[in-house]
Amino acid sequence: MARLAFIGLGVMGYPMAGHLAAAGHEVVVYNRTTERAQAWVEQFGQQLAMTPAEAALDCDAVLTCVGNDADVLSVLEGPDGVLATMRPGALLIDHTTASADLARRLAQQCRAAGLGFVDAPVSGGQKGAETGQLTVMCGCDDPATYAEAREIIAAYARACELLGDAGCGQLAKMANQIAIAGVLQGLAEAVNFAQRAGLDIDQLVTVISKGAAGSWQMENRSSTMSRDEFDFGFAVQWMRKDLGIALDEAARNGARLPMTALVDQFYAQVVDRGGQRWDTSSLIHLLHHP
């Protein structure tokens, strides 16, 4: 078993780090909110560090799962960052959904320092993290480094795939979020239409989810959407962050994302209604309450 550092104990990182501990790894954790890290240590009987650099000392691998590009750099660079203390030969796995440019930059920094690097954003939401059923999309310049990372990631993943060189994991996550945005808007319109037509939503979903319209979002969100229940799941503010990254990348590579841009505008309207922490299925609120 390995000695690991896990940086970032949010709704995803907390259970992911827990799966690593349950798999028998020695885990040192750091979180900006110390109280949350202390609660994790009490629950899993592992070690607490007061800085990212302290957490990374003598570790075989460091895993990060924070908010955005700036958050990643804040825990990696500087005298208190993990790069200051990671030993040569160690591995950095970044689970943050961030830009592909950042992943490529980190790959170069790690290569120069004799470290391995994998960008490994995840999909599956809080439930997937808690049940250890995440999908992990990876970018890495070295297949052997990826193979090492995959053995660690297996503790909380049902699927893990190398998509290409550094940055490709992040590009895959962008495609993932683009697809989810379109599905959610279509589902919101379908549920709202069915309600206004007088159909029973649960009965409808039982039927159409078995056909070509079926999706994870339909099976897991249609019922709560019909009741305007959104106090759970993946927050709108984080989806807007992810879609912004995708739109920025599309501006560089020439991809047209008209639906994504439109749905991002709809999410901006949800935020204006105070729904920044609502689940992404809250798109239907705009249709229920125009």
Cα–Cα distance between 142 and 160 in angstroms, integer?
A: 15
Phi and psi torsions of 160, nearest 5°: -145, 125
Cα–Cα distance between 109 and 102 in angstroms, integer?
A: 10
Give 186's contacts (C-beta < 8 A, 6+ positions apart): none
Strand partners, 244: none
SS3 state of residue 40: helix
Cα–Cα distance between 203 and 207 in angstroms, integer?
A: 7
CB atoms within 10 A of CB 40: 23
Paired tokens of 50: 């007061």
Phi and psi torsions of 24, nearest 5°: 100, 0
Distance from chain centroid for Cα 168: 15
Cα–Cα distance between 83 and 70 in angstroms, integer?
A: 15
Give 105's contacts (C-beta < 8 A, 6+ positions apart): none
- Active site annotation includes 127: no
Paired tokens of 168: 């490709």
Paired tokens of 217: 């979002």
Active site residues: 173
